[in-house]
Amino acid sequence: MSTEYSGSQPAASTRTTVKWHFPSVHPEGRRFGAIAAAVTALVALAGWTTVAWLCAGITLWVLAFFRDPVRAVPQDESAIIAPADGLVTLIQTVLPPPEMAGSDKLGDEPLVRVSIFMSVFDVHINRTPITGTVKDVVYISGKFINADLDKASEDNERQHILVERGDGVRIGFTQIAGLVARRIVPFVKRGDIVAAGQRIGLIRFGSRVDVYLPAGTAPKVTLGTHTVAGETVLARIGDGQAASGVIQ
């Protein structure tokens, strides 16, 4: 006996064929891949076979680093979506950064900050957690210490982005360059209107993204959770019930 799907989505949507395919390479990374491939070809022509194989591996890794997979973004107005692929390494209650503090931004009271660490093997395309208007983009030059450390939020090169929903709810998040990362590449500017899960930038070669949750909102992820940008729900606005979990 077969059972038909009885969810809230239109029946036609359940008949859509979804197939896996290789993720595309973001245009920002194509020139790096081309450079790596050219070096590989030159080394191979020189007859250095072992080095050529090593360079070929590096070329594949560069292309994989800049992969830009399609994501299925939850259509939930209350959801705050993960802006980055990676590991949740810190969940702390802290004051907003000075660049995002004040009554016209995130306020002056402590907020829950969820930190997502991106290794060099994670997708590095970052996405906006909510739909809204980009109210501010602030770039700050800094150091390149290990992005997994707490002080990276204050010391490293970083870029703050503030997005405001139509109802006035604001979400701030920060792209932080890491030990290897040397470039934060923005795709948006102040005044842009963005949809939840939309690509807003990338960080080259290992880094971190901090997300500041609104007051009264608790995280739905725990330490050790591996998030998927544009898909994982970090929190739901106004829901103060935190998730619990055990790393095992």
Active site (annotated) includes residue 207: yes
Question: Residues 196, 130: contact at Cβ < 8 Å?
Answer: yes
CA distance 230 to 71: 6
CA distance 49 to 20: 34
Question: Residues 218, 239: contact at Cβ < 8 Å?
Answer: yes
Give me the amino acid identity at 226: H
Helix axes 27-45, 49-65, angle to 10 degrees: 180
CA distance 117 to 207: 6
Q: Where are the alpha helices (DSSP H) in 10-162?
A: 27-45, 49-65, 152-155
User: Which position among 115, 153, 207, 244 bears the catalytic label?
Assistant: 207
Look up residue 73 and give its two tokens.
């973004």
Would you name the residues annotated as active-site residues?
207
